[in-house]
Structure 1
Amino acid sequence: MTLGLYLLKLMASRIGAALFALVGVLQILDLLDVSTDILDRNLGAGGVAYYALLRLPRLIEQSAPLAVLAGSLFAFGKLAGDSAVTAMRSTGISAYRITMMALPTALTLALAQLAIGTVIAPRTDTILSEWWQASTPPDAAKAVDPVTFRVGDEIVVAVPRDPDGTSLEQVTIYKRDASGRLIQRTNAQAAVYEDGRWRLVEPRFETLGDDNVVESAAQRMDWTANLTPGDVRALAMGETTVTAAEASRALAGGLSTRPRTFYDTQLQRSWAAPVACLVMMLLAAPAALANFRGGGVTLTVQCLASGLLFLVFDGAFTALGENGAAPAVLAAWAAPSIFAALGVTALLYLEG
């Protein structure tokens, strides 16, 4: 077995074990929260297993960076504890080369995280949402609250009573001009999704002029094609997860419930989030040079602390971007860039 293959195998086994453990803990905590609801709906053990399967992609996506950090620390710690790194360096193999030989494992998981976040998880989220909505027992006495959202430049308030998401009731649409001033209010008894677009039923219009209000009405009117039944179902269920495709559609005039800066940041985050796996390995790499007979545990703890601190800074920068306090590109990429540079600097310093 070559050295490169040995390092890849060691890294893959440690990171895989860490990922399995983290996903298992998150899965258990998630099931503790919803198992009672699933059983109350008479879905049985099969329903619990089906729910766990559909939630698995999101849990893997969330756990990947921490799994790389923990797995890399275990792998590099084993190499240092067995004096393998000392032996490799005595033959002229530097710590940089050791890190580069181990990096493909983190890169593979980063690509998997990207695929899960952009392709797999959005589909499983939709299946889970539809399955959960279909198994919800009907409650005629339950009040349905109106929801507020934007479609393009229009602000909409409506009641989503249909579980299929193909109709809205008590629809009020506020239309604005380019400067954001209200120019028209439309009230309709309902909005129905037909032939790929929404149509308003018995809409009444109030158009604001310079010094008057002009009223008019119609029997039916085409409204928008930028809103889907899936959007309505997500609004009714109060779902907060935003995929890259949904963020792109919101920026292009589709459904949005938050400021534009939020969707700009989420779009950048969809590409920046997988980079966290590579950053975590760079932050863990100095542990390979730890001397456990001379305080090497302290270096390992410092590597762990830097990885956790990266998650804190990453979350803080993301929050700033979502609220418009920082540009989206800076909010998404600042923490990965800073901490990747920190990891490389630490490795350079320890290598001498």
Structure 2
Amino acid sequence: MTGHITKVVGFQILAALLVLVGVLQVLDLLDVTTEIVQRQLGPGGVAWYSLLRLPRLVEQSAPLAVLAGALFGFTRLARNSEVTAMRAAGMSGYRLTAMALPLAGAMMLAQLLMSTLVAPAADQTLARWWRDTAPAAQRAATEPRTFRIGTDIVVATPSPTGAERLDGVTIYRRTPDGQLIQTIAARTAVYRDGAWALAQPQVRTVAPGQVQTGSASELLWRTDLAPAEVEAIFSQTQISPGVAVAALEGAGSVRPRSYYQTQLQRFAADPIACVVMLLLAVPVALANFRSGRGGVTLVICLAAGLLFLVIDGVFTAIGESGLAPAWLAAWAAPVLFSAAGVSALLNLEG
């Protein structure tokens, strides 16, 4: 019995995942295929881009795949009166849910693996490949970026040679209360032996009533900023847990602390969405399709799953902007909708 439910629902979840990833992949390629062709990368470039984008698309599609697959699978079981036969044999809705939970757990682990390990590595590889294959004119048009390292403000331009070098670097050193005390301007900064070597730096030290200037052929800038953080700052890809932790520790950030705090909480909360989606789909299995209520239940469950995604996104945006604590923004929607799914199951079981 467990194997049959796993086979039916699991197949539907896998099919839904393939369809969703395929649709997202096609939409993504519609935006970039022209540029890939213009770069003369050919079909191999399209295939390589698609492969590098695949982990992120799997991560994004996992919760919806569980919702759609569970709805289709439970609908099939209910329409064929298989659930009725199971319940006549003494199976409760709780046991039915427990049998399907490992499927959501597997998707949850897959999503967690993608978001924390596979997707960040693929994003960095894609960013480097996209930068290295860009036309020379496009590389030269790169604009400088401003970011924070602790209390310091840094303005720099990414180098076409890689994340181990920055061009046009200006460092504004500040006190903890935001007072400017020194500026350092250098043509380039090259990362070696755990520090950045500033070429021909011009140093201006600000003191009460005076400004002292100085220069050198080279100056070592020791900071927690590493090439990995440089790639995250300039590539604009989704951040990894390591980058978020480094930003909170002062290694380099372009967003407020609340953004990185919320993202850290999201890394743990996002995979729970797969379990939430399964709980929201379970009422379909217990609905009476012969009385006509099954279709209504199916629509309500689908709407609940989509509403969960919307509410979850709203809470996340609120947390990233600092209007709510990070833990509340990340966990509010999963907890509320999990409670709603469990309440619905309890109500159906009488």
The match for 2:189 is: 191
Q: What is the identity, as a one-letter code, of the residue corresponding to 1:133?
A: R
Q: Is the 8 A contact 1:162 1:168 kept in 2?
A: no
Q: Please state if 1:250 is matched with 2:244.
A: no
Q: CA deviation at 1:139?
A: 1.5
**CA deviation map 1:272-303 (0-9, x unaligned):** 10000000000111111111122211111000
Q: What is the identity, as a one-letter code, of the residue corresponding to 1:334?
A: A
- Give the match's secondary structure for 2:43: helix
Alpha-carbon separation, structure 2, partners of 1:169 and 1:141: 13
Q: Please state if 1:267 is matched with 2:272.
A: no
Q: What is the identity, as a one-letter code, of the residue corresponding to 1:100?
A: A
- Give the match's secondary structure for 2:181: strand
Q: Which runs of 5+ in 1 are unaligned?
A: none
The match for 1:292 is: 289
Q: What is the identity, as a one-letter code, of the residue corresponding to 2:9?
A: M
Matches for 1:53-202 after TM superposition, within 5 Å: 53-139=51-137, 142-202=140-200
**CA deviation map 1:84-130 (0-9, x unaligned):** 22221122211011001111001001001101110111111111112
Q: What is the identity, as a one-letter code, of the residue corresponding to 2:247?
A: A
Q: Is the 8 A contact 2:194 2:222 kept in 1?
A: no
- Give the match's secondary structure for 1:255: coil
- Give the match's secondary structure for 1:198: strand
Q: Is the 8 A contact 1:290 1:299 kept in 2?
A: yes
TM-score of the superposition, structure 2-length normalised?
Answer: 0.95
Q: 1:140 to 1:126 in 2, by over 3 A?
A: closer
Q: 1:60 to 1:52 in 2, by over 3 A?
A: same
Alpha-carbon separation, structure 1, partners of 2:282 and 2:114: 26
Alpha-carbon separation, structure 2, partners of 1:240 and 1:319: 17
- Give the match's secondary structure for 2:255: coil
The match for 1:328 is: 326
Q: What is the identity, as a one-letter code, of the residue corresponding to 2:64?
A: L
Q: What is the identity, as a one-letter code, of the residue corresponding to 2:303?
A: A
Q: CA deviation at 1:214?
A: 3.2
Alpha-carbon separation, structure 1, partners of 2:250 and 2:233: 17
Q: Is the 8 A contact 1:156 1:174 kept in 2?
A: yes
**CA deviation map 1:311-334 (0-9, x unaligned):** 001000100110000101111111
**CA deviation map 1:50-85 (0-9, x unaligned):** 111111111100000000000000111111111122
Q: CA deviation at 1:153?
A: 2.0
Alpha-carbon separation, structure 1, partners of 2:284 and 2:319: 33
Alpha-carbon separation, structure 2, partners of 1:141 and 1:198: 22
Q: Which runs of 5+ in 2 are unaligned?
A: none
State the Cα RMSD in Å: 1.6
How many residues are treated as equivalent by the alignment?
Answer: 349
Q: CA deviation at 1:209?
A: 2.7
The match for 2:275 is: 278
- Give the match's secondary structure for 2:260: helix
Q: CA deviation at 1:141?
A: 8.9
Q: Is the 8 A contact 1:109 1:277 kept in 2?
A: yes
Matches for 1:195-214 after TM superposition, within 5 Å: 195-214=193-212
- Give the match's secondary structure for 2:137: coil
